[in-house]
């Protein structure tokens, strides 16, 4: 499911994107966040995303939202959550060019659920993205595996579940950051 995207302009040259996980990466992790009032940005998120936007790097959110498929909330509620998240970011002068979500239950074995590449491919098509020059930022192994599956560079942020995992034996990120600001500084130091 594509929640919303900005204009794509198919005549533009392909560009690197930063694909961001939502829960535990941008906002505080809440099991099956089902109410827009539960949204709370994590420390360092505003500063990090501002740095990326100031550098002209497009941002897109790619998020597994199986709470829809499990019947915990509806796609309409998910849209309201994303509307509030976009407003919270806009209040910090941060624009997200697209939000892509997978509403399916894991049993459905869809092609969009991370770590499969479906959402990243949709984001690249909608935003003229070059996935091989892009970055995936997240707090779980499925985020790092998504990045590896699409040939992107990967950053584990330790702001959510990332602080609980030992990634030495799992998917190995290209970088481990304490928060989004540190991740953004690393991204800005890479050649795209």
Q: pLDDT by residue (tens digit) across 126-167?
A: 999 999 999 999 999 999 999 999 999 999 999 887 777 665
Q: For residues 113 and 119, what is the distance between their CA atoms, to the nearest angstrom?
A: 7
Q: For residues 175 and 88, what is the distance between their CA atoms, to the nearest angstrom?
A: 27
- Residue 174 appears among annotated catalytic residues: no
Catalytic residue among 21, 31, 35, 143: 21
Pick from 41, 22, 42: which is nearest to 32 by CA? 22
Q: For residues 24 and 163, what is the distance between their CA atoms, to the nearest angstrom?
A: 10
Asked whether the beta carbons of 153 and 19 are under 8 A apart, the reply is no
Asked whether the beta carbons of 70 and 28 are under 8 A apart, the reply is no
- Residue 130 appears among annotated catalytic residues: no
* CATH class belonging to 2-188: alpha beta
Catalytic residue among 23, 35, 91, 174: 23
pTM for this prediction: 0.91
> Which of helix, strand or coil describes residue 14?
coil
What is the percent of the chain where pLDDT is above 70?
Answer: 90
Q: How confident is the model at residue 171 (pLDDT cuts 50, 70, 90)?
A: confident
Q: For residues 178 and 157, what is the distance between their CA atoms, to the nearest angstrom?
A: 6
Q: pLDDT by residue (tens digit) across 93-139?
A: 999 999 999 999 999 999 999 999 999 999 999 999 999 999 999 99
- Beta strands at 175-177 and 135-138: parallel, antiparallel or unpaired: unpaired
**pLDDT > 90? residue 192:** no
């Amino acid at each position: 499911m594509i929640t919303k995207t900005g204009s794509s302009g198919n005549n533009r040259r392909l560009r690197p994107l930063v694909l961001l996980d939502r829960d535990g990466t941008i906002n505080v992790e809440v099991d099956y966040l089902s109410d827009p009032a539960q949204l709370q940005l994590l420390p360092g998120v505003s500063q990090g995303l501002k740095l990326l936007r100031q550098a002209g790097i497009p941002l897109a959110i790619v998020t597994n939202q199986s709470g829809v498929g499990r019947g915990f909330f509806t796609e309409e509620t998910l849209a309201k959550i994303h509307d509030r998240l976009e407003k919270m970011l806009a209040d910090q002068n941060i624009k997200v060019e697209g939000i892509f979500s997978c509403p399916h239950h894991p049993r459905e074995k869809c092609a969009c659920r991370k770590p499969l590449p479906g959402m990243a491919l949709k984001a690249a098509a909608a935003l003229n993205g070059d996935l091989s020059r892009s970055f995936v930022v997240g707090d779980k192994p499925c985020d790092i595996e998504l990045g590896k599956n699409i040939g992107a560079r990967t950053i584990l942020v330790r702001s959510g579940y990332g602080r609980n995992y030992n990634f030495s034996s799992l998917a190995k990120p290209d970088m481990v950051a304490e928060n989004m600001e540190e991740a953004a500084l690393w991204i800005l130091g890479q050649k795209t």
